[in-house]
Amino acid sequence: MSEVKKPMPEDLLPAIIEALKTVYDPEIPVNIYDLGLIYDVKLDDNYFADVSMTLTAPGCPVAETFPGIVENAVKSVAGVSDAVVELTFDPPWTIDNMSEEAKLELGMI
């Protein structure tokens, strides 16, 4: 019987991105990935995900709870051992962070 080969950490990134696309900004009907709120996703050799993200505004009413929602989405990906979300406002979010698809969806192009 052959041993099942465990995926490399970087192989999980597409699934993590898909999980992030299931989380929507509470005020804008676009997912957080296409909105450009996700700045970076790193996965170490122990399959621990470190996500750097921002919010559309520092005074966002969900600033306290939203990172936990994002963490849970990332943790739901098979193979991810754990996740932490770090909130940053440097650089500040602008509409330039949005994907073309998100801009189109919001009628901005």
**Contact present, 62 and 94 (Cβ < 8 Å):** no
Any domain includes 15: yes
Any domain includes 3: no
Any domain includes 37: yes
pLDDT value at 86 more than 90: yes
CB burial class (10 A; 0-12, 13-18, 19+) of residue 50? middle
Any domain includes 107: no
Any domain includes 78: yes
- Each residue's pLDDT tens digit, 49-59: 999 999 988 88
Average pLDDT, the chain: 92
Chain mean position to CA 3:
32
Where residue 36 sits, what CATH number does that domain have? 3.30.300.130
Please state, in angstroms and rounded to a whole number, the distance separating the CA atoms of residues 12 and 17: 9
**Domain enclosing residue 79, as ranges:** 9-97
Any domain includes 1: no
Q: How many domains does the chain have?
A: 1
Any domain includes 2: no
The verdict on pTM exceeding 0.85 is yes
Any domain includes 47: yes
- Each residue's pLDDT tens digit, 20-64: 999 998 888 899 999 999 999 999 999 999 999 999 888 888 888
Please list, in sequence order, all residues whose beta carbon lies within 8 angstroms of the beta carbon of residue 97, skipping any fewer than 6 positions away.
Answer: 35, 36, 37
Would the CA dihedral through 80, 81, 86, 87 be positive or negative? positive
At residue 1 the predicted structure's pLDDT band, cuts being 50, 70 and 90, is low
